[in-house]
Amino acid sequence: MAKRTLQLEQRCREVTGFGASAYAVTILLITLLAGRVGACTVQEPCIVAADGAFATAVLGGARGVPATGLAARLRDAVALADPAQHAPREAFEIGVANPDHDDDYSYRLPYGDAVSYEILQGYGSKLSHRGPEYFTVDFRMPEGTLVHAARDGVVVLAEQSQQRACWAEGCGRYANYLVVLHTDGTTGEYFHLERDSLLVHVGDRVERAQPLAHSGNTGYSTTPHLHFGVYRREPFGGTRSVAVRFLTREGVINEPRPGARYVNAGR
């Protein structure tokens, strides 16, 4: 209950956006006229640029996605945006507004079997896991380490063109990342990835434990590591991290401890 209260108290993340293609702008105008912006549901999740420049009402027909349920409504909508913009993650609001996270789901640690990596920051760590980032985890991973899916879903956002790391305001824009949309409307997000290391594409269906990319040291970072979190989209903009639990050989871990190492319990 305490964690649930903390989640409700997290502030919305301030976001900025980039321009989009003429087609995307046309989609936005149609959406505005229909009064649909911000009206996403579990049946009709959407991707919306934070500055209102890009929106799509329904995501459907993603490659390899079964034509049933929510998964049938996930689309490679990001392809409508200009790929030359290399928009940061914060430029988009993804999925269902205020989705109901499946709290009974036990996530896999975002790496392979029979290996473990030290936790640099856990829930509420003072350096940077505060506010909307409260329920996120940093794993100390050497560059080039395989990153695996913590939960199945559909890839909806990806960036792998960046190669810079720094520790100053605005450095977050240089992060490479991958965003996977889950069937409950939340997103699993993987940050600081190595340049040109993605093993999947936007629109791909990915399975739990599937290799996704290689870890790196890009964006707001001082050392090679992987930042992982599960997020829910806020009704009025921004995202907020969600407390999740991990299935390990030691059992279910509800709150990863800084300095600890955990091994996956299998798939």
Per-domain residue ranges of the chain: 2-95, 106-253
What number does CATH give the domain 106-253?
Answer: 2.70.70.10
Q: Determine the average pLDDT of the residues in 137-152.
A: 97
Tell me the whole-structure pTM to 2 decimals.
0.75
Confidence of residue 44 (pLDDT cuts 50, 70, 90): low
The answer to whether 209 and 197 are in contact (CB under 8 A) is: no
Q: 206 and 212 in contact (C-beta within 8 Å)?
A: yes
Ranges 39-48, 117-126, 134-143: which has the least confidence: 39-48
Query: Cα dihedral sign for 264, 182, 187, 2?
Result: negative
Phi-psi region of 209 (alpha: psi -120 to 50; beta: other; left: phi over 0): left
> From CA 248, how far away is CA 106, in angstroms rounded?
9
pLDDT tens digits along 47-76: 555 444 333 333 333 333 333 333 333 333
* Side chain identity at residue 141, one-letter code: M
Return mean pLDDT, the chain. 74
Say yes or no to pLDDT of 82 above 70: no
Rounded distance between C-alpha atoms, residue 239 and residue 133, angstroms:
9
CA distance 147 to 227: 11
Residue 86 — very low, low, confident or very high, per pLDDT cuts 50/70/90?
low
Token output for 10: 């997290």
